[in-house]
Amino acid sequence: MDNCLLPPGLALLGFLVLLPMTIPWGQLGKDSWLGGTHCVACLAPPAGSVLYHLFMCHQGGSPVYTRLLALDMCGVCLVNTLGALPIIHCTLACRPWLRPAALVGYTMLSGVAGWRALTAPSTSARLRAFGWQAGARLLVFGARGVGLGSGAPGSLPCYLRMDALALLGGLVNVARLPERWGPGRFDYWGNSHQIMHLLSVGSILQLHAGVVPDLLWAAHHACPPD
């Protein structure tokens, strides 16, 4: 069995059980669709990784590998796209004229980033493909940080840790650390791909820790009159 299957496999099982239980569906009101969007975003990366690693023992050559890699990348694309929609929705909760444009604009940007990631020729190129999405999220975080956006008070630090962990995981995977320092010593355990998976799980947990209070805040917050 591929040892890299273990982290995303355990994460997928845990998320399937715990995510629906930790979202207060009854309190979200008209924003309950964002709870579903958030669940899909959190489940997509481990699901894609499980499929990728589960069938890595195939004998179908490059065409099969390319399809499996595309499934894995689709999971990353979905968490980068769907995962940010509740954040944008809550940050611009009191700016109804700007919120739809921001949601549509980010979705379109995500489509371009996803296509570039799926067609990227290397791991580093795939990481760079998501840079525009990360930049857009940083703009949203900055708007919230300086008071131009809104949201639950404790959510912004969770989102910053989320992106920091995701970036660190991507850099570790691209740099092939620590196996670059000790070839052969990390073939089974402790290699960069496993570390990347663990950091990705931590990133998703930070996303969840920020989105749930954000959605509750948006459901009960009354915006001041213009």
Per the structure, the complete domain to which residue 196 belongs is given by 5-220
pLDDT of residue 2: 57
Going by the annotation, the residues of the binding site are 53, 193, 197
For residue 12, is it within any domain?
A: yes
User: Are 202 and 141 spatial neighbours (Cβ–Cβ below 8 Å)?
Assistant: no
Going by the annotation, the residues of the binding site for Zn(2+) are 53, 193, 197
Instruction: Give the Cα separation of 31 and 39 in Å (integer).
Output: 13
For residue 225, is it within any domain?
A: no
For residue 198, is it within any domain?
A: yes
- The Cβ-side half-sphere exposure at 119, using a 13 Å CA radius, reads 6
pLDDT of residue 30: 86
| pLDDT digit string (tens) for the chain, length 226 residues | 456 677 888 999 999 999 999 999 999 988 899 999 999 999 999 999 998 888 877 676 777 878 888 888 999 999 999 999 999 999 999 998 999 999 999 999 999 999 999 898 888 888 899 999 999 999 999 999 999 999 999 999 999 999 999 999 999 988 888 878 877 777 677 888 889 999 999 999 999 999 999 999 999 988 887 6
For residue 226, is it within any domain?
A: no
Domain count, the chain: 1
For residue 103, is it within any domain?
A: yes
